[in-house]
Amino acid sequence: MRPTPLAALPLLLIACSGGGASSQTAAPADRPFKTSTIADFDSPWAMTFLPDGRALVTEKAGEMILFDPKNGTKIPVAAIPKVDSAGQGALMDVVLSPAFASDKAVYFSFAEERDGLKGVALAKGAFNQASDGTTKLDGVRIIFRATPYVTGNGHYSGRIAFSPDGQYLFFTNGERQQFDPAQDPKATLGKVLRLNLDGTPATGNPLSAKGFHPAIWSYGHRNLLGIAFDKDGRLWEQEMGPKGGDEVNLIKAGLNYGWPNVSNGSHYDGRDIPDHAPGDGYEAPKIWWNPSISPGGLLYYAGDLFPAWKGSLFIGGLSSQSLIRVKLNGDQAEKADQWDMGARIREVEQGPDGALWLLEDGGSGSQGRMLKLTPTG
């Protein structure tokens, strides 16, 4: 039986097992980092750090938790809308507003059901913690919904990133395992979207004059589970291919990335899909994997704790149970490292001190642990 959700418990401090003390394991010979287990969650999906070093963590079933790594306390965050967690549905990404210090805004995504159909929604609310520790998001409202909502429980995507200037919000909508909507100009499915901070389509999106939905920035995507800007303002995205063909893409305004017409993978039933090829009219991935790594979260690393990795992308591997580093050189990318983590990795985040923080997926034997990676020695 599933434990009682945190949201259903009284709003009080909930101490995690072990009183917040972390456990460390020696670094295997092929890992240039040591791993500390910080906490355990119930199928966590994403995390983001607050300015004071605490973190907001989302769990698949619909709980958002305020977690303090220093003492292990967990506080449920109230006022989260109802989440449809069937299949790949979840309470998904969580990201702080670029102006969080003043507006306290928290943006998050989740799967929902409306009139028998399902889709991904983007919401925002204001972080509010009372003197007694109870925590909620004030004024929660949905500011954008994917279109159309469809049947099925897969490929929601729902990743969030803010432009470096803090003026725009980029939001990923998966193609919901429906294939064709990724090429449909009227659907937001299978797209990267550029929105204003209030969720409305940004003025000047490149395809709106051609009859596309006004929010679309790029299209022809499958299941976009990671999106991040580098130090020079380039937007990187990773997505799951079908059977093989997982991709890292450099996202450019108005381009078509080809799904489902081209892919370096194949259909699950073995049918071929034409590979990306020069001159086919589609933007090819910068790198791809076959067999699949099943990429989860994506991080652009800008910290100093691992100086040799500054400016790299890090990807959490689900089916590959790995942490993957991608080396960037301007607008080019190349595979660099892949470490076996022994569990499905859903999320990769950079901590305030430059450490790498991971969330296990909580499926296929994983415990859903939060891990902290620091240099050896």
CB count in 10 Å sphere of residue 247: 26
Residue at 334 is within a domain? yes
User: What CATH number does the domain containing 179 carry?
Assistant: 2.120.10.30
pLDDT beyond 80 at 22: no
What are the pLDDT digits (tens) for 123-149? 999 999 999 999 999 999 999 999 999
- The verdict on residue 255 lying in a domain is yes
Residue 366: the pLDDT is: 73
The residue-averaged pLDDT of 298-310 equals 98
Please tell me the distance from the alpha carbon of residue 23 to that of residue 316, in angstroms, as a whole number.
21
Return the structure tokens found at 248.
């890292």
Say whether 209 sits in a helix, a strand or coil: helix
SS3 (DSSP) at 273: coil
2 in any annotated domain: no
282 belongs to a structural domain = yes
Residue 159 lies in a domain: yes
Tokens of 356: 């790498």
Q: Which residue in 155, 213, 221, 276 is the catalytic one?
A: 155
What proportion of the chain, given as a percentage, has pLDDT over 90? 90
Q: Please tell me the least confidently modeled range out of 7-11, 149-153, 290-294, 295-299.
A: 7-11
| 56 exposure class (CB count in 10 Å sphere: 0-12, 13-18, 19+) | buried
CB-based burial label for 34 (10 Å; 0-12, 13-18, 19+): middle
Which residue would you say has higher pLDDT here, 88 or 364?
88
In a domain, 181, yes or no: yes
- pLDDT-wise least confident of 35-49, 186-200, 332-346, 351-365: 351-365
CA-to-CA dists, residue 257 to 160, 172, 192, 245, angstroms: 19, 14, 11, 13
| Average pLDDT in the chain | 93
Residue 73 domain flag: no
Tell me, yes or no, if 155 is annotated catalytic: yes
Instruction: Give the separation between CA 342 and CA 45, rounded to whole angstroms.
Output: 18
Concatenated DSSP letters of 113-164: EETTEEEEEEEEEEEEE-TTS-EEEEEEEEEEE-SS-BSSS---EEEEEE-T
277, pLDDT greater than 50:
yes
Structurally, how many domains does the chain consist of? 1
Q: Which domain holds residue 214?
A: 21-39+87-375
What distance in Å separates the CA atoms of residue 104 and residue 77, rounded to the nearest whole number? 14
What is the maximum span of the chain, computed from C-alpha positions, in angstroms? 62
Residue 285 lies in a domain: yes
Q: Evaluate if residue 25 carries a pLDDT over 70.
A: no
